[in-house]
């Protein structure tokens, strides 16, 4: 836990904004942050602006609206302004991005799409997931993780039920420090592993379905 609290994962995004000054670029970014209900907006106009972005608490921490810091640096270049963004999770939301940086990078990129649109950039339509797999393959892997998670939870339930049944049949008390540690490990390990697989699998499925829908375009009435 301490490792990623001290060294959070960071992701870099960049765009070159043509035919704009640093001042107008800064002002548009500031307006976007205000509209996104960002907190703790601070900066040194017109070269740098930083804010805490994310409107709600989330469990996984890699969703587009997950709590994160956005640190913008504006560099004048020929014909416009080069915008560089470093995005990284807040302290309370570091676990998810640390465990699944690919999903966090994709989620943060999606959060920035509405800003890039203000500068005339069309939203990118990725044809694969952050690991380079097709959306179909990613969805299949997500379903596999869900099945594995359910199986692991079932094993944990059977182990717990077996322990209770053993206690009822034999009358042997499952108490004491030795039994507590054994039973705790036998129940806790499958529980946490199964829940993690279910969460990861569902996230892959949702991301894959969303990716396929975006590639397919708007539905016809």
Query: pLDDT by residue (tens digit) across 193-206?
Result: 778 778 877 877 87
Compare 190 and 166 and report the one with higher pLDDT.
190
Residue 193: its H or E element? helix 177-216
Helices (H), 50-176: 95-99, 101-118, 135-170
Q: Would you mind telling me the total number of residues written for the chain in this entry?
A: 221
Q: Greater confidence, 200 or 69? A: 69
Is residue 87 pLDDT above 70, yes or no? yes
The Cα 17–Cα 84 span in angstroms is 11
Q: Angle CA(34)–CA(14)–CA(139) in degrees, nearest 5?
A: 90
Residue-level pLDDT at 221? 46
Predicted local distance difference test score (pLDDT) of residue 220? 46
Residue range 154-175: mean pLDDT, rounded: 65
Structure tokens given for 137: 């393959």
Domain segments of the chain: what residues?
2-118, 135-216
Percentage above 70 pLDDT, the chain:
71
Decide which of 183 and 92 is more confident: 92
pLDDT at 116 over 50: yes
Find residue 17's DSSP bridge partners: 81
Q: Identify which of 79, 75, 70, 86 has the alpha carbon closest to the alpha carbon of residue 22.
A: 75
The dotted CATH code for 2-118 is 3.30.310.80
Is the predicted pLDDT of residue 176 greater than 80, yes or no?
no
Which pTM was predicted?
0.61
Q: Which helix (H) or strand (E) holds 75?
A: strand 68-77
Alpha carbons 130 and 210: distance in angstroms, whole number: 13
pLDDT at 51: 95
Mean pLDDT of all residues in the chain? Answer: 79
Could you tell me the two tokens for 75? 């560099």
Choice between 211 and 105, residue whose per-residue pLDDT is larger: 105
48-64 pLDDT tens trace: 999 999 976 666 788 88
- What is the reported pLDDT for 2? 44
């Amino acid at each position: 836990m301490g490792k990623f609290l001290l060294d959070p994962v960071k992701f870099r995004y960049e765009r070159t904004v043509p035919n704009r000054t640093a001042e107008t670029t800064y002002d548009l970014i500031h307006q976007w942050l205000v509209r996104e209900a960002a907190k703790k907006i601070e900066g040194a106009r017109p070269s740098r602006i930083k804010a805490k972005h994310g409107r709600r608490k989330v469990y996984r921490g890699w969703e587009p609206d997950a709590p994160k810091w956005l640190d913008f640096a504006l560099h004048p270049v020929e014909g416009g302004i080069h915008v560089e963004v470093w995005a990284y999770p807040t302290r309370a939301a570091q676990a998810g991005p640390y465990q699944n940086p690919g999903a966090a990078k994709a989620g943060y990129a999606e959060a920035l799409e509405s800003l890039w649109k203000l500068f005339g950039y069309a939203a990118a339509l990725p044809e694969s997931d952050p690991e380079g797999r097709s959306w179909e393959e990613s969805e299949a892997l997500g379903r596999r993780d869900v099945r594995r998670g359910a199986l692991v939870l079932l094993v944990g339930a059977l182990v717990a039920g077996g322990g209770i049944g053993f206690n009822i049949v034999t009358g042997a008390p499952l108490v004491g420090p030795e039994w507590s540690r054994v039973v705790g490990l036998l129940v806790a390990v499958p529980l946490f592993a199964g829940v993690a697989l279910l969460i990861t699998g569902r996230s892959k499925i949702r991301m894959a379905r969303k990716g396929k829908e975006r590639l397919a375009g708007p539905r016809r009435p």
